[in-house]
Amino acid sequence: DGYFYQRVAECRYSSKDLQGIEYIDSYVFNQAEYIRFNSTVGKYVGYTEHGVKNAEAWNSDAGILAQELGELERVCKHNAAIYYSA
């Protein structure tokens, strides 16, 4: 009864090497992911018509992309030692 919106940001650690860290920022509406930023790809990818339009707009803005890539450094790499010690 209503709409469901969710944004999930996560760090994926595949090795202890800091180069193996991946930052993913997903946008979900009514349990369907419609757009995702992946630091490995370096841009947004849309999965629905709305997501593709947003991806095109957001990918054309260097400031938005720089902010997302900054999250890889600020959040993922900064907290890697905590993740690996757990």
Instruction: Give residue 67's pLDDT.
Output: 95
**Stated pTM of the model:** 0.85
The CA-CA-CA angle for residues 56, 74, 40, to 5°, reads 45
**In contact, 21 and 86? CB cutoff 8 Å:** no
Number of domains in the chain: 1
Render pLDDT for 63-79 as a digit per residue (tens, 0 to 9). 999 999 999 999 998 88
Q: Is residue 33 within 8 Å of residue 46, measured between CB atoms?
A: no
- Which CATH number belongs to the domain containing residue 75 in this structure? 3.10.320.10
The domain containing residue 53 runs over which residues?
5-85
